[in-house]
């Protein structure tokens, strides 16, 4: 069992690298962004509430995403490991994750934190907005709010895991394959 968090600001490559990591290692991919977009697609009450916040670049309430992750852990008892993508995004989410994992005698092995400049983040997200159909990617003001939410609420999550010596910073600019090699090299040292 190996559990990792892929951490970084919006547009840092979490979703992109997660896809490659799960196909190499067979981890169960838990992306709170994907789960929320699925709720929106299905028109659920939760999806409607989440859409209003996501369209403004604001984080969804902790209780909602913690509940989603708790359910996903229950639904996947046989997984050989979990890749958390876009979660936790606040210290409250990080503490709740530790509690959920401890109940199952599990813990986080490593937090891989992608570092990308703000200019590059904005460029990537606007570029994705040309084709993704994601309403939160088309407007530069919304992208700005997402980056501000990251700086105000999420960046401190790395400090939470630093206390347990679990954070490794990875330069997140360069080709997708170059960054993937750096990630797999760090996983290889611990897996
Ligand atoms: P997410 O779905 O997590 O989206 P994200 O952070 O914007 O994207 P990600 O970082 O995965 O994208 P990637 O770089 O791979 O969140 C969306 C919203 O959901 C949040 O704003 C929030 O409202 C809500 N939410 C989700 N989780 C939550 C939580 N835990 N708590 C509260 N609210 C939550 O891709 C970006 C682009 O960069 C792509 O086009 C990709 O092709 C490109 N790219 C990737 N790597 C590249 C590289 N090396 N070079 C050039 N381009 C690259």
128 is catalytic: yes
Q: Is the CB of 50 under 6 A from ligand 1?
A: no
- CA separation for the pair 180, 137 (Å, rounded): 24
Cis peptide bond N-terminal to 183, omega within 30: no
Q: Which pLDDT tens digit goes with each residue over 105-146?
A: 999 999 999 999 999 999 999 999 999 989 999 999 999 999
Edge-to-edge, what's the strand order for the sheet holding 4-7? 28-31, 82-85, 4-7, 110-115, 167-171
- pLDDT, tens only, 30-68: 999 999 999 999 999 999 999 999 999 999 999 999 999
Per-residue pLDDT reduced to its tens digit, 138-151: 999 999 999 999 99
Cα 31 to middle of ligand 1, angstroms: 10
Ligand 1 midpoint to CA 101 (Å): 24
Answer for the pair 186, 168: CB distance below 8 angstroms, yes or no. yes
Residue 146 CB less than 6 A away from ligand 1: yes
| Gap from CA of 99 to ligand 1 centroid (Å) | 25
174 CA: nearest ligand 1 atom: 49
What is the rounded CA–CA span in Å between residue 101 and residue 122? 34
């Amino acid at each position: 069992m190996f559990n990792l968090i892929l951490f970084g600001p919006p547009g840092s490559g979490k979703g992109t690298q997660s896809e490659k990591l799960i196909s190499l290692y067979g981890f169960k991919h838990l992306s709170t962004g994907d789960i929320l977009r699925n709720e929106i697609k299905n028109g659920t009450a939760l999806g409607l509430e989440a859409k209003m916040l996501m369209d403004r670049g604001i984080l969804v309430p902790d209780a909602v995403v913690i509940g989603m992750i708790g359910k996903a852990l229950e639904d996947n008892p046989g997984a050989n490991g979990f890749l958390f993508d876009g979660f936790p995004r606040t210290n409250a989410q990080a503490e709740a994750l530790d509690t959920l994992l401890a109940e199952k005698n599990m813990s986080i092995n490593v937090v891989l934190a992608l570092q990308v400049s703000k200019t590059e983040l904005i460029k990537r997200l606007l570029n994705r907005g040309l084709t993704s159909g994601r309403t939160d990617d088309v407007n530069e003001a919304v992208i700005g709010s997402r980056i501000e939410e990251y700086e105000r609420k999420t960046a401190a999550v790395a400090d939470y895991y630093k206390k347990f010596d679990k954070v490794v910073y990875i330069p997140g600019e360069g080709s997708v394959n170059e960054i993937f090699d750096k990630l797999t090299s760090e996983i290889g040292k611990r897996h």
